[in-house]
Amino acid sequence: MADKVHLLESFCNPRSIALFGSMQENWFFGAAVIIGDLLKWNYPGRIYPMHPTAQTVYGIRVYRDLRETDSVPELAVVVTSYKHVPQILHQCGARDVKAVLVVSDGFGETGAQGRVREKELLSIARSYGMRVMGPNTVGVFNSEDRFTTVPYERGYEYNRQGKLSLITQTGMYSPQAMGWHEYLPGVNKVIDLGNMCDVDETDCLEYLCEDESTRVISLYMEHSRRAGTFLDELKKTSLKKPVLCLMPGGSPGTRAAMASHTGSMAGNAALYDAALRQGGAIRVLEYEDLRDCASVFLRYPLPAGNRLGVLTFSGAIGIQCIEIAEANGLALATLSQESRQKLAALSNTLGNHPVDVGPASATAGERVFDLYKKCFDVLREDENVDCIYLNGYVSGGLQAIYYRELLEYIGSFTDKPIAAWCYGTSDKLVHEFGQLAQDCGIPFYTTTGKAIRSLAYMARYARWKKMVTGGRLL
């Protein structure tokens, strides 16, 4: 792979692009939306709008046929009715276009007739040596190279580049549907495969495995066309970088819904689950986890073990932490005698684990932040602690901004994974705390459960990696 260009480059960062579909400006959907975004992003390649009647779009000439273009587009994007797709594919093939992204729906996800149309689409493509992404897809969003094929308006500016890349079989993870602009670690690439008649998740894993701009991969999949090859590639990729995976299909109702969504035929859920875990995939529970749980992987090294340190403002939260941790493969750390002595010296209400600073805060006043910092230091320095959960409390009198110095201090350490949550007298105040925590480099979660599960995923992945590599994490 190092000495040749991967086929996904033509889809993720093409040097030129042809777009078939509506050229209506300032609309919420269509080929013109893609063109507008490419112009906003100063896309350096040639843009060839294709339409039978339109003259110009955003000041660019519109072409009637690919034979009119002065060069061969590296990628063609089709945003038309399914009825026009075969003719467009023939046109692309005659012009020697080698990569086509079909946004159009009306194929395998619609039933038997749609599956026939999808087979026809693939047959045409193969007759010309073309590769197809889709159909029924929104395609690619690439923040690093400022390239997109998403045909929906986003309604916001996206200027944050990160190291998380997603492979998905649904457009709901694309920027028009998920607030990636609010995700502080940032996103690198989002690849929606749609019905996956040709280009599949195995191709994407192979591509992202070698992509230096991608440190963590999130994968939403409903089925695999090449299960054996996919699992081989998954294990290879997981040894280099974490792969978070969400795969529905455990219930009859889910499998029926998936068939009407992307035409997927879900396999045996138990077999897939075992195979994915064997391949090193980190199985997550909810679609938000593909984004949110990646934060700790992007920020910290893998933990040495599964021993959890808990620093809280509430004893009840501490108890909840233990229950959630044990259910997800973490164990409450047994603090060293030295650590317990240090805590007890700070306050007569401390010394136990979980470390609850709430009672001490009642008399500490503004000193509570110094107390919190010292308790954090005890947990971080204890060799029996592999990762740390912390939470805060906010109110009208205890504003998030008061935590700034403390959070900056905690955020300056990256030797052990940290996940945070906050509770308080209003959602607005909690949101402000979360924003501040993330600004300080601390992954913040909307629930205690999500925070601890994220740490558990790290520990589980580290354990798998040690097992496969004979004890090495890197």
Give the HSE-up count for residue 96: Cα atoms under 13 Å, Cβ half-sphere.
Answer: 3
Provide the CATH number for the domain around residue 431: 3.40.50.261
**Is 261 part of a structural domain of the chain?**
yes
Shared-domain flag, residues 35 and 160: yes
Its pTM stands at 0.91
Shared-domain flag, residues 313 and 283: no
**Is 297 part of a structural domain of the chain?**
no
Q: Of 271, 292, 313, which marks where a domain is finished? A: 292
Q: Is the pLDDT of residue 250 over 50?
A: no
- Kindly give the residue spans of alpha helices, DSSP state H, lying in 239-293: 252-262, 269-278, 289-292
**Distance between CA atoms of 200 and 197, rounded to whole angstroms?**
8
**Distance between CA atoms of 176 and 119, rounded to whole angstroms?**
29
Q: Which DSSP category does 441 fall into?
A: T
Shared-domain flag, residues 257 and 349: no
**Is 60 part of a structural domain of the chain?**
yes
Domain that holds residue 231: 8-292
CB 188 within 8 A of CB 164: yes
Share of the chain above pLDDT 90, in %: 79
Range among 116-130, 178-192, 211-225 rated most confident = 116-130
pLDDT at 253: 42
Shared-domain flag, residues 252 and 195: yes
Domain count, the chain: 2
Shared-domain flag, residues 318 and 216: no
Shared-domain flag, residues 256 and 324: no
**Distance between CA atoms of 205 and 200, rounded to whole angstroms?**
9
Minimum mean pLDDT range among 105-109, 184-188, 192-196:
184-188
Q: Which DSSP category does 144 fall into?
A: T
Per residue in 299-312, pLDDT tens?
A: 999 999 999 999 99
76-106 CB burial, b ≥16 within 10 A, e <16: bbbbbebeebeebbebbbebebbbbbbbbbb
Per residue in 45-58, pLDDT tens?
A: 999 999 999 999 99
Shared-domain flag, residues 40 and 71: yes
**Distance between CA atoms of 344 and 259, rounded to whole angstroms?**
59
Size (the chain), residues: 474
Shared-domain flag, residues 206 and 313: no
**Distance between CA atoms of 474 and 468, rounded to whole angstroms?**
11
What confidence tier does 87 reach under pLDDT thresholds 50, 70, 90?
very high
What confidence tier does 257 reach under pLDDT thresholds 50, 70, 90?
very low
pLDDT at 251: 42
**Is 266 part of a structural domain of the chain?**
yes
Q: Of 292, 310, 329, which marks where a domain is finished? A: 292
Shared-domain flag, residues 403 and 320: yes
Shared-domain flag, residues 262 and 179: yes
**Distance between CA atoms of 76 and 102, rounded to whole angstroms?**
8
pLDDT at 223: 81
